Amino acid sequence: MSPVARLLAHRLGMSLIVLVGVSILIFAIARIIPGDPARIALGPNATPEQVENLRQALHLDQNIVVQYGYFVADLLRGDLGVSLYTNRPVTADIAQFLPATLELVIAAGIMMIGIGLPLGIISARYRGRWPDNLIRLVSLLGVSAPSFVWAVIFMLLFAFYLPLFPIAGRISDIYSIEAVTGFLLIDTLIAGDMRAFGNAAWHIILPAFALSVSGIGQAARLTRANMVETYDKPFIEMARSYGFADRRIANRFAFRPSLIPSLTIIGLDFAAMLGNAFLVEAVFAWPGLSRYGVAVILRKDLNAIVGTVLIISATFLIMNIIVDLLIAFINPRIRHSQRPA
Amino acid sequence: MKRTIAILLANPLSLLGVILVSIVVFSAIFADFIVPFPEHRGAVVDFANFNKGPEWPYIFGTDLVGRDMFSRIVYAYRISLMLGIVVLAIAVPIGVTVGLVAGYIGGWTEYVLMRITDVFLSIPPLVLAMSIMGVLEPTLLNGMMAVTAMWWPWYTRLVYNLTRAEKEEGYVLAAEVIGASKLHVIFGEILPNCVPAVITKMTLDLGFVIIIASSLSFLGLGVQPPTPDLGSMVADGAKYLPDSWWLTVFPGLAILIAVFGFNLIGDALREILGADQ
């Protein structure tokens, strides 16, 4: 097995253990609910028999270990139960809402890397001079407010006062795009409708940017910190005395070794963005998991809460595995390693 | 300690942080004497003055039932800070202890404790707090519990990594050789060397707790009305953009200023104490 494949196997196994733990944790949280979920679901007018029937159907009358057993058995068949809020299978609900959220998070992630890393490089290269001070100040401001505050401020500035971007939604109503993947930016391309693609891209810029602001700040700060450390190493001194241009030293010699620790943290930032997407979606009326998640939480819809959190955690674990693999490809010490990972 | 404070006050940025945090803390403590309308923190209506833009005596405007935004923001600071302090007071000792034990004892203890930590860390923080808030009634106390539940693992990870590095150091070996108990080595020898890193993280985290708590209440899962809260103020005001902009902009900036202040100090502390992970 190649070192990268071995790492993948190791990480998948680890993630599976963690996912089982997550399912137990979430299941436990959902069952400490005060009040009877069956009663809440049916409303105050239900008869005691109706409540009792639903309790039996949901296995709420059994002890908690048996309930978890039923839950895992269903889960393995890809069944997360029925949402008491929408009366549809939880998997169907999530399949409908998750792509919009993922599209937003991935767009924000691309902005985080595409803007944050270059800012960090510039900052480190001009260490102690005005570009460095400016970038440090801006990135610290960026991490100092929750994404909903940025969302509201950007909306006010760039959608109301300067009407550059749309105020809400994923795409204008005039376009009807057949849902294939659920990712509008991909579906519009499949449909071959470039105007619709442009429209969807235009809609996603502002929410994705609001979501990525603190990630950009985080990425810039980390890259700078790592690069500043690298700059003190002798091989940079040597590159300088060979007469390489500052730009080349920054982009090649100092940046590359600093990329690995930055990427690790960027993986963690994805987790934060999956959660923060709820906030941005609420501001921009983005039809993602947010409204569904908040609605099911307020209604104490057990199956839907457990399902949503489980899917989000699984998504996060998958994203982290991807980041780890990326690092393995970048890092020659892992790529060419002969030792077990 | 004296030296640390002197350096903090000498650097213009960290001085700004100290000033911002002092203003926030001072106004939160003495809210009753500062704000023009102390009664507006509760369920008061004054329809004669509803939805007014910033004008004297309402420097930040009034909300939709005529309450002074400035008064409510200052009282919201009080609740945010209290929440932050309580959360850290519970989460830090738990997280630090688990990290120390896992890092020092090793073996199965380490494996089990760190996998449990991983479980908590692999649920996005806000989502974990949301689901806890969802099953509990949305009150201030439960909000603190929800945020605490997601906060301790970060300290576990920090202290775990520090402990693993420290336990190979000479002073730990020396203590072990003269027969010191595990308890003494962990809390008497290793813990004091983790304190600078923990304090730095706590300063930064006071800001982040404010962010998470306001995010929860922004979604309607935190502190409930009429208690003033920065997150729910932004959520309520967002429906009235762009006309009543003061309903969202001022509470939003209030969050930014407080968190920015804590971050400036935290950053400076990190450099002074050399407490990088």
A29/B135 Cβ within 8 A: yes
Measured between beta carbons, which residues in chain A are less than 8 angstroms from residue B234? 148-149, 152
The whole-number pLDDT of residue A337 equals 67
The whole-number pLDDT of residue B4 equals 79
A 263-302 → B contacts, CB under 8 A: 271-276, 278-279, 282-283, 293-294, 296-298, 300
For the record, the structure tokens of B218 come out as 């922004």
Dihedral sign for Cα A232, A234, A236, A240, please: positive
From A22's Cα to the closest Cα of chain B, the distance in A is 5
- Nearest-CA residue of chain B relative to A17? B115
A160/B241 Cβ within 8 A: yes
The whole-number pLDDT of residue A33 equals 65
The whole-number pLDDT of residue A181 equals 79
Radius of gyration of chain B (CA): 22
The whole-number pLDDT of residue B18 equals 92
Percent of chain A with pLDDT over 90: 19
CB nearest to B131's CB, from A26, A225, A271: A26
For the record, the structure tokens of B48 come out as 């004669």
Indicate the angle between helix axes A255-284 and B191-218, nearest 10 degrees: 30
From A317's Cα to the closest Cα of chain B, the distance in A is 7
Q: Is the pLDDT of residue B275 over 50?
A: no
Dihedral sign for Cα B79, B83, B84, B85, please: positive
Measured between beta carbons, which residues in chain A are less than 8 angstroms from residue B218? 146, 148, 279, 282
Q: Which of A269, A162, A151 is nearest to A204 (CA)?
A: A151
Q: Is the pLDDT of residue B66 over 60?
A: yes
The whole-number pLDDT of residue B255 equals 94
Q: Among A52-61, A186-195, A223-232, where is mean pLDDT lowest?
A: A52-61
Cα(B196)–Cα(B96) distance, integer angstroms: 13
pLDDT digits (tens, 9 = 90+) for B180-189: 888 899 999 9
For the record, the structure tokens of B266 come out as 């935290």
| pLDDT confidence bin for A339, thresholds 50/70/90 | low
DSSP state of A270: H
Cα(A274)–Cα(A261) distance, integer angstroms: 21
The whole-number pLDDT of residue A35 equals 64
- Nearest-CA residue of chain B relative to A299? B134
From A188's Cα to the closest Cα of chain B, the distance in A is 30
The whole-number pLDDT of residue B252 equals 93
- 10 Å CB burial of residue B132 (0-12, 13-18, 19+) is buried
Measured between beta carbons, which residues in chain A are less than 8 angstroms from residue B241? 152, 155-156, 160
Q: Among A90-94, A236-240, A249-253, where is mean pLDDT lowest?
A: A249-253
**What is the ipTM, given to two decimal places?**
0.87
pLDDT digits (tens, 9 = 90+) for B2-55: 777 888 888 888 899 999 999 999 998 988 888 888 887 877 777 777 777 787
DSSP state of A336: T
pLDDT digits (tens, 9 = 90+) for A192-240: 888 888 888 899 999 999 999 999 998 998 889 888 888 888 888 888 8
Radius of gyration of chain A (CA): 24
B124/A313 Cβ within 8 A: yes
Q: Does B204 touch chain A (CB under 8 A)?
A: no
Which whole number is the average pLDDT over B56-60?
80
The whole-number pLDDT of residue B141 equals 82
A272/B134 Cβ within 8 A: no
Cα(A277)–Cα(B243) distance, integer angstroms: 26
pLDDT digits (tens, 9 = 90+) for B86-109: 999 999 999 999 999 999 988 899
- 10 Å CB burial of residue B38 (0-12, 13-18, 19+) is middle
Average pLDDT score, chain A: 84
A 109-138 → B contacts, CB under 8 A: 137
Cα(A159)–Cα(A48) distance, integer angstroms: 52
Q: Is the pLDDT of residue B205 over 80?
A: yes
Q: Does A34 touch chain B (CB under 8 A)?
A: yes
Indicate the angle between helix axes B69-105 and B140-166, nearest 10 degrees: 40
User: What are the distances in angstroms from CA A101 to CA A95, A143, A204, B14, B87?
Assistant: 11, 21, 11, 38, 30
CB nearest to A276's CB, from B126, B207, B249: B126
Q: Which of A23, A149, A269 to mutate to test the interface with B (most CBs of B within 10 A)?
A: A149
User: What are the distances in angstroms from CA A6 to CA A15, A284, A315, A328, B233?
Assistant: 14, 42, 21, 11, 51
Q: Count of residues for chain A?
A: 341
Q: Is the pLDDT of residue A86 over 50?
A: yes
- CB atoms < 10 A from the CB of A208, how many? 25
For the record, the structure tokens of A226 come out as 């790592």
Percent of chain A with pLDDT over 70: 96
DSSP state of A186: H
Distance from CA of residue A288 to its chain's centroid? 12
Is the model more confident about A167 or about A116?
Answer: A116
Cα(A103)–Cα(B8) distance, integer angstroms: 43
Which whole number is the average pLDDT over B194-222?
87
Asked whether A152 and B248 are in contact (CB, 8 A), the reply is: yes
The whole-number pLDDT of residue B89 equals 93
Measured between beta carbons, which residues in chain B are less than 8 angstroms from residue A313? 122-124, 127
CB nearest to A29's CB, from B115, B132, B256: B132
- Nearest-CA residue of chain B relative to A311? B123
Distance from CA of residue A159 to its chain's centroid? 25
For the record, the structure tokens of B67 come out as 């309450």
Residue B157 corresponds to which amino acid? R
Q: Is the pLDDT of residue A102 over 70?
A: yes
Largest CA-CA distance found in chain B, in angstroms, rounded: 77
Q: Does A13 touch chain B (CB under 8 A)?
A: no
Q: Which of A148, A150, A299, A301 to mutate to test the interface with B (most CBs of B within 10 A)?
A: A148
A30/B255 Cβ within 8 A: no
Is the bond into B57 cis (omega within 30 degrees of 0)? yes
Cα(B175)–Cα(B194) distance, integer angstroms: 17
Which whole number is the average pLDDT over B126-145?
80
HSE, CB side, 13 Å, CA atoms: give it for residue A8: 10
B252/A152 Cβ within 8 A: yes
Q: Does B271 touch chain A (CB under 8 A)?
A: no
Which whole number is the average pLDDT over B156-172?
88
Can you give chain B as a three-state secondary structure string? CHHHHHHHHHCHHHHHHHHHHHHHHHHHHCHHHHCCCHHHHCCCCCHHHCCCCCECCECCCECCCCCEHHHHHHHHHHHHHHHHHHHHHHHHHHHHHHHHHHHHHCHHHHHHHHHHHHHHHCCCHHHHHHHHHHHCCCCHHHHHHHHHHHHHHHHHHHHHHHHHHHCCCHHHHHHHHCCCCHHHHHHHHHHHHHHHHHHHHHHHHHHHHHHHHHHHHHCCCCCCCCCCCHHHHHHHHHCCCCCCCHHHHHHHHHHHHHHHHHHHHHHHHHHHHCCCC
Measured between beta carbons, which residues in chain B are less than 8 angstroms from residue A144? 207, 256, 259-260, 263
Average pLDDT score, chain B: 86
Asked whether B234 and A152 are in contact (CB, 8 A), the reply is: yes
Q: Look at residue A286 and give its three-state secondary structure.
A: coil
B267/A309 Cβ within 8 A: no
DSSP letters spanning A227-261? HHHHHTSHHHHHHHHHT--HHHIIIIIIHHHHHHH
B137/A34 Cβ within 8 A: yes
Which whole number is the average pLDDT over A75-79?
83
- CB atoms < 10 A from the CB of A130, how many? 8
Q: Is the pLDDT of residue B276 over 50?
A: no
- Measured at the alpha carbon of residue A308, what is the angle toward residues A285 and A154, in degrees to the nearest 5? 25
A 147-176 → B contacts, CB under 8 A: 148-149, 152-153, 155-156, 160-161
The whole-number pLDDT of residue A208 equals 95
Q: Which of A15, A18, A144, A154 to mutate to test the interface with B (most CBs of B within 10 A)?
A: A144
pLDDT digits (tens, 9 = 90+) for A311-323: 888 888 888 888 8
The whole-number pLDDT of residue B277 equals 41
Contacts 24+ apart (CB under 8 A), B23-32: B23/B261, B24/B77, B24/B81, B24/B257, B24/B258, B24/B261, B25/B81, B27/B74, B27/B77, B28/B74, B28/B77, B28/B78, B28/B80, B28/B81, B29/B78, B31/B74, B31/B75, B31/B77, B31/B78
**Tokens 């306001």, residue?**
B214
From A194's Cα to the closest Cα of chain B, the distance in A is 32
B249/A278 Cβ within 8 A: no
The whole-number pLDDT of residue A49 equals 82
pLDDT digits (tens, 9 = 90+) for A132-182: 989 999 999 999 999 999 999 999 999 888 888 888 888 887 777 777 777
Measured between beta carbons, which residues in chain A are less than 8 angstroms from residue B119? 18, 21-22, 25
Q: Look at residue A171 and give its three-state secondary structure.
A: coil
The torsion of the CA quartet A252, A254, A260, A263, rounded to 10 degrees, works out to -80
Residues contacting residue A116 through CB under 8 Å, at least 6 positions apart: A139, A215, A216, A217, A218, A219, A220, A223
